[in-house]
Amino acid sequence: MATFLVSRLLGLLRDVVIGAQFGTSGDYDAYVAAFRIPDIIYTLIAGGILMSAFLPTFTDYLAQEDRSGAWRLASAVINLVVVVLAAIALLAALLAEPIVR
């Protein structure tokens, strides 16, 4: 929860700095449009779906004193998220030019 709050605060700082640099130009509008989708994906995964499913299961493992099982679960979830997000990022990079045109 603390890291989510820090992420939001750093995002606000980022937006202030970028807004000060670009003002209300077309370049800033393009940045905001390009940033919206990844930000929504992050919010859904980190702030909602992942935590509501992962945390109860992880704490159940810890409550049953199965630390190795808990960390195997954490490792599997982290690896899955990294692989899926890397695949999505690669697909977005490959399709970026045709989508923008």
pLDDT in tens, the chain (101 residues): 788 888 889 988 988 888 788 777 777 777 777 778 777 877 777 677 777 888 889 999 999 999 999 999 999 988 988 898 889 889 888 888 877 76
From residue 70, alpha-carbon distances to 35, 47, 54 in Å are: 34, 20, 10
What residue numbers bound the domain in which 10 lies? Answer: 2-100
Phi, psi of 64 (to 5 degrees): -85, 5
State the total domains in the chain. Answer: 1
Tokens standing for residue 31: 């940045």
pLDDT of 35 = 78
pLDDT of 78 = 86
From residue 17, alpha-carbon distances to 11, 13, 77, 86 in Å are: 10, 6, 34, 28
First to last CA, the chain: 39
